[in-house]
Amino acid sequence: MLIKIYDTNPNPIEIRRVVEVLRKGGIIIFPTDGVYAFGCNIFNASGVEFIAKLKEHDMRKANLSFICHEMSQISEYAKMDDVSFKLMKRNLPGPFTFILNGSSKLPKLFKNKKTVGIRMPQNNIALEIVRELGNPLMTSSIFTDEKTTEYITDPELIEEKYGHQVDMVIDGGMGGLIHSTIVDCTEDEPVIIRQGAGELQ
């Protein structure tokens, strides 16, 4: 199922449709401020495992991130010191993934993972979905194959390629090709471990 939602002013009715799919255990593909991504409710164990398999990752080793809509939500699921809090406050929303130590509130499925990737993309569709859902969205970007870049940027072609594997594809306009910048905040000093779209302030 392909539905159109506009980033500038997401339709609340359509956002609720998406959230209903997520609450029923569905998997979506949605736009971020970079590449399109797979997403599911973080409490949906089978959905999380399915996305990990789609990405051909072992769940124990998969680099899965949470999308949060505000700093207070991040603090529920991850540990932040003053340095990481100020850094994130300056740079979010934006095309970054911050690696943080997980908190005790992580869902059972993530208990064996010491760290969690946190995203707050500069994309109103993603943020409104999380706001309406009431908890973070587990996310992982769709595949990047240089030969078929249109299949990760054009929502209609994304639906053609992945529509049979997911419950809903959100058309939020053409997607990008550049991934988020990854910043490791688990040690004393933050370290950029992948330079992507975001320029750290």
Q: What is the pLDDT of residues 42-62, one digit of tens each?
A: 999 999 888 888 766 555 555
- Predicted confidence at residue 88, as pLDDT, reads 97
pTM above 0.85, yes or no: yes
Q: Among candidates 164, 133, 161, 194, which has minimal Cα distance to 36?
A: 161
- Tokens 């398999």, residue located: 53
- Predicted confidence at residue 108, as pLDDT, reads 81
- Predicted confidence at residue 72, as pLDDT, reads 94
- Predicted confidence at residue 58, as pLDDT, reads 55
Residue 91 C-beta-side C-alpha neighbours within 13 Å: 21
- Predicted confidence at residue 63, as pLDDT, reads 66
For residue 5 the two structure tokens come to: 């939602």
Q: How far apart are CA 151 and CA 145, in angstroms?
A: 9
Tell me, rounded to whole angstroms, the distance of Cα 190 from its chain centroid: 21
- Predicted confidence at residue 151, as pLDDT, reads 77
- Predicted confidence at residue 5, as pLDDT, reads 97
Return per-residue pLDDT of the chain as tens, 201 residues: 999 999 999 999 999 999 999 999 999 999 999 899 999 999 999 998 888 887 665 555 556 799 999 999 999 999 999 999 999 999 999 999 999 999 888 888 776 778 999 999 999 999 999 999 999 999 999 876 656 677 789 999 999 999 999 999 999 999 998 889 999 999 989 999 999 998 998
DSSP string, 119-168: EE-S-HHHHHHHHHHSS-EEEEEPP--GGGTHHHH-HHHHHHHHTTTSSE
Superfamily of domain covering 2-194: DHBP synthase (3.90.870.10)
pLDDT in tens, 156-190: 999 999 999 999 999 999 999 888 999 999 998 99
